[in-house]
Amino acid sequence: DFLVQMEGKPKCCFFKFSSKIQYNKVVKAQLWIYMRQVQKPTTVFVQILRLIKPMKDGTRYTGIRSLKLDMNPGTGIWQSIDVKTVLQNWLKQPESNLGIEIKAFDETGRDLAVTFPGPGEDGL
């Protein structure tokens, strides 16, 4: 639950894993993201990206998962993302862990993913 907000940078969440966890013993790993409520029926485009060392062509990430959510007005929703393979790779090669980036935008470009609970918002 350590959070960082740098000038012009996104908020970051850091998670510590026990050194006892072995990549070949991970059977399930999910990351839950809370999506803010919407005022009207909205389509949300979610991208989960794994950050990597910059390649020669400038690529800095690889896609983990993309999905499209149809949200209705009312309360926000929780969305789970399977990160088992990513976690296994990180545990096998810790130096490859540069993080993941979560993008969840509606048609107007508003970011709906909550990575840090604001006033009146619950975290998980």
How many angstroms separate the CA atoms of 27 and 102, rounded? 23
How many angstroms separate the CA atoms of 6 and 51, rounded? 18
The full DSSP string for 43-111 is: EEEEEEEEE-PPPTT---EEEEEEEEEEE-SSS-EEEEEE-HHHHHHHHH-GGG---EEEEEE-TT--B
Per-residue model confidence as pLDDT tens digits over 9-46: 556 777 777 878 887 888 999 988 888 888 899 999 99
Give the count of alpha carbons within 13 A of 76, CB side only. Answer: 18
122 or 60, greater pLDDT: 60
Phi, psi (deg, nearest 5) at residue 33: -120, 140
Say how many C-beta atoms besides its own lie within 10 A of residue 71's C-beta.
19
pLDDT at 7 exceeding the cut of 60: no
In single-letter form, the type of residue at position 71 comes to: M
Predicted local confidence at residue 120, as pLDDT: 66
Per-residue model confidence as pLDDT tens digits over 41-88: 999 999 888 888 888 888 888 888 888 989 999 878 888 888 898 889
Report how far apart, in Å, the C-alpha atoms of 124 and of each of 34, 43, 82, 92, 121 are.
8, 23, 16, 27, 10
